[in-house]
Amino acid sequence: MAVSVREVAARAAVSVGTVSNVLNRPDKVSPATVERVHAAIRELGFVRNDAARQLRAGRSRSIGLVVLDVRNPFFTDVARGAEDRAAEDGMTILLGNSDENADREGSYLDLFEEQRVHGVLITPLTDDLPRLERLQGRGTPVVLVDREAADRRFSSVAVDDVVGGELAVRHLAEIGRRRIAFVGGPMAIRQVTDRLEGARRAVEATPGMTMEVVETESLTVLAGRAAGAAIRERAASDRPDAVFAANDLLAMGVLQALMMQGTVLVPDDIALIGYDDIDFAAAAVVPLSSIRQPAALIGYTAVDLLLKEAGEADGDEGEQERERERVIFQPELVVRGSTVPDAASHPSAP
Amino acid sequence: MAVSVREVAARAAVSVGTVSNVLNRPDKVSPATVERVHAAIRELGFVRNDAARQLRAGRSRSIGLVVLDVRNPFFTDVARGAEDRAAEDGMTILLGNSDENADREGSYLDLFEEQRVHGVLITPLTDDLPRLERLQGRGTPVVLVDREAADRRFSSVAVDDVVGGELAVRHLAEIGRRRIAFVGGPMAIRQVTDRLEGARRAVEATPGMTMEVVETESLTVLAGRAAGAAIRERAASDRPDAVFAANDLLAMGVLQALMMQGTVLVPDDIALIGYDDIDFAAAAVVPLSSIRQPAALIGYTAVDLLLKEAGEADGDEGEQERERERVIFQPELVVRGSTVPDAASHPSAP
DNA sequence: CTCCAATTGTGAATCGATTCAGCGTTGGTG
DNA sequence: CACCAACGCTGAATCGATTCACAATTGGAG
């Protein structure tokens, strides 16, 4: 059924080696032969078997990417950036989403390792880095995405979440809010705790400001709705005057819940700011203020680091403890109607 | 560097065949041996090489999925459904997005075929089905997703887009609108033309109703913004009193553009309805009325058909023109504030 | 004590593309 | 005219897991 190089070779009256050369190093073959082989390929409908190719090569031409949630536009943007960079080197991105679940994360890592991917980009769920260290030790480079490597064991591309959290809450302080609620969770996720940490710093730097933490089970619109509903149900006097949500999905959920039945006005009663600045944030019921991260650039850079690392590994071969690279981008405050009523509701053009 | 079955076999003092048996048919091996082999695997850090496995097996354990746009939540929902069903059979989804671009679509198909995927799920860009037919002819089953197969050459899972379009415009008619604008494009995409066709039917069934078509270059928020801006710029008397957008992304773009500077009020001046009912639709500036499609179910069902077909092919082996299956779901109207003011769960915008 | 059957385990062949040492030709140089 | 380099091509070896016909061992029945 399957057409192999052997059959193509027979048809074109050349050896299999020549067919392979036509496929991979056409300049090493005379034009006439190239044409003859191509004709045979066309006539037979030959399609290269990637498994055989990979087996021989020892590594696949793809890169694994494990994200926390594919439904979060932030991560699809990261994926797009990664894909773009990978394509430049003829590589492919394999996308896995852990759904904030350790088992799923683990099975994607297993899968990717069995596939002998060129490397793994991952937004790790927790601080269970030993797993990743072993993976890396076995020869699969790992780059942490949207998460700073604590030490030099991993390369990483991240945005400073502490600064981001600080930016958000400082903004809330500047518009006169003092009773802040931080909505986010689970606390096992580093991005959440870092943003919270930044928020704390801003709170401490602001006289008279207090903060409560409303923990959520995940970083989704649904979880945000639940948190928002809980806040709405309280007596008006007991409500915060500002909410900082750990990401835009949560923020949008909070927003929906707060505005339900017109109970709470945003930003009049409660100012709201999210994180990530996803496209939809600008289109929310009330356009969402947010902290922008260069998502596509993060993905692009991560693949870049990975390929650099993989390239070196090929050369060195000496599995030495090379210094890993860490890239950190700075987050940026984007002000819209959910914190400042008369702020332009349209997103800035790229 | 890489640990192979051979080394595991040596370490456990058994043959490679036995190691393979432990991995794939543990019941055929005595418990003591199984344990010994597992120990060797652990000690050596052995990881199966999937390429070798696939080469032998002839097919990979993954399914290719090509969608029009990963950034559209509708498609990520489809992907999630597909992933769930695939996981039930220990299979994986490879996600490719064509970005409404024929070249990208083509290169994903090439890639998937070289990978010898179990089958391909695709939301085809155009009506260029010969390409897919050849693919299928060479032994890779194809299931059309969110697109009804014109004839019986392909299995397909779709939602009736003509009915959907009709539902949308009939709703606009019922709330008293008569001057409709259909926003969507490119017209090469079947979903667009089908929804437009449905819209036409509703228009023709409604005395005094007229419709104009505002063609867009893609189905994105950005394209929607452009279309919306064009409408906003017109003299008030020249504007439509309702807009039906070919998907929610477009609709949200239109919404943003219309409301800019408070020029046009939605739904007072212009009622707006989208398509897909993505999660964000409910959270828009004005909650978006839309046509709901069972996205995850579509993905789930598509994989189901695919696996059924692939299974049969294994048995038959007789490449005969078997009858393909076609599944069609019915769309559903969801009314929110963008068409009916009091359906809104919040005060209307400034 | 034989004999047969069931149970375990063996190892060479296989999948298909790539690689590489090496062979035969050609054409240019001294 | 001899010599050599460059070129075009060959074909066997290779990657690593799986498979399968067959060998070795064990146990139970007769």
Q: What is the pLDDT of residues A11-34, one digit of tens each?
A: 999 999 999 999 999 999 999 999
pLDDT number for residue B260: 76
| Residue B252 to residue A2, Cβ atoms within 8 A | no
pLDDT number for residue A322: 62
pLDDT number for residue B230: 96
- According to the per-residue pLDDT averaged within each range, which of A188-202, A271-285, B19-33, B140-154 is highest? A188-202
- Cβ contacts of B49 on chain A, cutoff 8 Å: 55, 114, 116
B17-CA/D21-C1' distance, Å: 13
Contact between the CB of A30 and strand C at under 7 Å: no
Q: What is the dihedral of CA B26, B28, B30, B31, to 10 degrees?
A: 30
- Measure in Å the smallest separation between the Cα of A286 and chain B Cα atoms: 6
What's the CA gap between B13 and B9, in Å, rounded?
6
pLDDT number for residue A312: 67
Q: What is the CA radius of gyration of chain B?
A: 26
**Helix A16-24 and helix A5-12: axis angle, to 10°?**
100
- Cβ contacts of A55 on chain B, cutoff 8 Å: 49, 51-52, 55
The band of A315, judged by pLDDT with boundaries at 50, 70 and 90, is: very low
Contact between the CB of A15 and strand D at under 7 Å: yes
| Residue B256 to residue A345, Cβ atoms within 8 A | yes
Is there a contact between B126 and A126 (Cβ–Cβ < 8 Å)? no
Q: Which of B71, B73, B92 has the CB atom closest to A111's CB atom?
A: B92
Residue A337 pLDDT exceeds 90: yes
Of all residues in chain A, the percent with pLDDT exceeding 90 is 80
The band of A342, judged by pLDDT with boundaries at 50, 70 and 90, is: confident
Is there a contact between A249 and A220 (Cβ–Cβ < 8 Å)? yes
Q: Which domains does chain A have, with CATH numbers?
A: 5-48 (1.10.260), 58-159+297-329 (3.40.50.2300), 161-293+332-348 (3.40.50.2300)
pLDDT number for residue B23: 94
Residue B234 pLDDT exceeds 70: yes
Contact between the CB of A58 and strand D at under 7 Å: yes
pLDDT number for residue B350: 31
Mean pLDDT confidence for A90-119: 94
Lowest mean pLDDT of A162-176, A307-321, B249-263, B279-293, name the range: A307-321
pLDDT number for residue A319: 45
CA distance to B223, B245, B263, per residue, from B234 (Å): 18, 18, 11
CA distance to A49, A263, B294, per residue, from A76 (Å): 29, 34, 21
Query: Please, what is the average pLDDT of chain A?
Result: 91
Lowest mean pLDDT of A268-277, B270-279, B334-343, name the range: B334-343
Residue B300 pLDDT exceeds 80: yes
Q: Give the number of other CB atoms < 10 A from CB of residue B284.
A: 26
| Residue A260 to residue B111, Cβ atoms within 8 A | no
Residue A178 pLDDT exceeds 70: yes
pLDDT digits 0-9 by tens, B242-254:
999 999 999 999 9
- Cβ contacts of A54 on chain B, cutoff 8 Å: 51
Residue A97 pLDDT exceeds 50: yes
pLDDT digits 0-9 by tens, B68-127:
999 899 999 999 999 999 999 999 999 998 989 999 999 999 999 999 999 999 999 887
Mean pLDDT confidence for A246-264: 89
In strand D, which positions have an atom below 7 A from any protein CB? 7-21
Residue B319 pLDDT exceeds 50: no
Residue A320 pLDDT exceeds 80: no
What's the CA gap between B143 and A11, in Å, rounded?
33
- Could you tell me if A157 lies within 8 Å of chain B, comparing CB atoms? no
| Residue B345 to residue A260, Cβ atoms within 8 A | yes
CA distance to A99, A111, A182, B108, B322, per residue, from A114 (Å): 21, 5, 41, 22, 35
What pTM value is reported for the model? 0.90
| Residue B345 to residue A261, Cβ atoms within 8 A | yes
| Residue B47 to residue A113, Cβ atoms within 8 A | yes
pLDDT digits 0-9 by tens, A105-152:
999 999 999 999 999 999 998 877 889 999 999 999 999 999 888 778
pLDDT number for residue A350: 33
Chain A's closest residue to B47, CA to CA, is A114
Contact between the CB of B40 and strand D at under 7 Å: no
pLDDT number for residue A346: 40
- Measure in Å the smallest separation between the Cα of B207 and chain A Cα atoms: 35
Residue B307 pLDDT exceeds 50: yes
What's the CA gap between A82 and A95, in Å, rounded?
10
Chain A's closest residue to B222, CA to CA, is A279
Residue A180 pLDDT exceeds 50: yes
Lowest mean pLDDT of A227-236, B172-181, B321-330, name the range: B321-330
Handedness of CA A21, A22, A23, A26 (dihedral sign): positive
**Kind of pairing between the strands at A155-159 and A179-184:** unpaired
Window 36-55 of B: residues touching A by CB (8 A cutoff) are 45, 47-52, 54-55
